[in-house]
Amino acid sequence: MCKGLTGEEEDGAGGHEAVREIPEVIPIKKMVACVAIWSLADQDRFICTYPAYLNKKKTITEGRQIPISKADENPTATEIQDICSAVGLNVFLEKNKMYSREWNRDVQYKGRVRVQLKQEDGSLCLVQFLSHKSVMLYAAEMIPRLKTRTQKTGVGDQSLQQGEGSKKGKGKKK
C-alpha cells in the first residue's frame, strides 16, 4: 500500500490527519475497461450513416436526410460501405445496429456504416467530403451505378414478361 494523499504516516497521535491508503496495483478488470473505452474513442469521431438517411421511400420524419430527387429506393448498409471504401474513406460496417425510427426489423434494413471524415489532427481525410451530408449525397448518387443494382433490374424485366403469358388462359368464375 502507498501513503495517502497528505504524505504523512499515521502514528496514532491525535494531531495528524487520517491517511487514506491507495492500492498500488489497479485490478485487471478496470484496466481492460479503460483500454476498451480508449479504442472506442477513435470510433466515436466517425460519422454514422444509416440506409434510412438515403431511402426515397422514407419521409423526413421517418429519417430521410437528403432530398427525394437525390435519394435511392431501399439502399443497404453494405452498398453504402462499398461506395465509401471504393472512394478511399476509412469505413466499417456494424451489421447488428438498426436505426431507431425503423419499425421494420427485416435484414434488409439492418446495419450502420461508420465513416471517418477527419483525422486525429482535425484535417479532412478527403477534401471532397467536407460534411456528413456530402458523404450521403455522394453515396446516393453512386448507389444506382453499382453492378448489383444494374444486374437486379435486368433480371426483373424478364420475369415480368414470363408472368404475363401464364395469365392468358384464365377466365372469370361464375
Q: What is the pLDDT of residues 92-122, one digit of tens each?
A: 899 989 888 888 777 777 899 999 988 888 8
- Cell numbers 437525390: residue: 70
Bridge partners of 112?
Answer: 94
Return the minimum-mean-pLDDT range out of 53-57, 78-82, 105-109.
105-109
Instruction: Give the per-residue pLDDT at 79.
Output: 93
For residues 144-162, give the mean pLDDT: 67
Instruction: Give the per-residue pLDDT at 162.
Output: 53
Rounded Cα distance between 105 and 28, Å, is 38
**DSSP per-residue string spanning 17-67:** PP---B-SS--HHHHHHHHHHHHHHHHHTSEEE-GGGGBTTS-TTTT--S-
pLDDT in tens, 7-43: 444 455 555 555 545 444 444 333 333 333 334 456 6
103: which residues sit within 8 A by CB, 6+ positions away?
A: none
For residues 60-73, give the mean pLDDT: 94
54 pLDDT above the threshold of 70: yes
Instruction: Give the per-residue pLDDT at 6.
Output: 46
pTM, entire model: 0.62
> What value does the mean pLDDT of the chain take?
74
Radius of gyration of the chain from Cα atoms?
28
